[in-house]
Amino acid sequence: GLPMAWSLAGAPTVVGSIWDVNYDAGTEMMRSFFIELREAGNMGSPARALQQAARRLRCQFSSPYHRGGWILYGAA
């Protein structure tokens, strides 16, 4: 699938959704993910950043449907 294609192209880590997500929730999730990743600096883990971003979204999107469909492929 698509994560494998990115991996073969050289991406060490790919974040994607496993189901269609609401546009606003998806936008906010990725914004939060990159903020968390940037704030962690070189010592940051993409897996930890994704977890923290999902926690941050609980206030805005109470349903797990909006924040639970994200998965990290590759190096954590």
Q: Are 7 and 16 in contact (CB under 8 A)?
A: no
pTM: 0.82
Q: How far apart are CA 43 and CA 66, in angstroms?
A: 28
Percentage, residues of the chain above pLDDT 90: 37
Question: Residue 76: its pLDDT value, please?
Answer: 65
Which class for 42: exposed (0-12), middle (13-18), buried (19 or more C-beta within 10 A)? exposed
Q: Where are the beta strands (DSSP E) in the chain?
A: 13-17, 70-74
Q: State residue 40's pLDDT score.
A: 86
Q: Which residues fall within 8 angstroms of residue 11, CB to CB, at 6 or more apart? A: 74
As a whole-number percent, the residues of the chain with pLDDT over 70 amount to: 99
Q: What is the pLDDT of residues 30-61, one digit of tens each?
A: 999 999 999 988 777 999 999 999 999 988 88
At 62 the pLDDT is 85
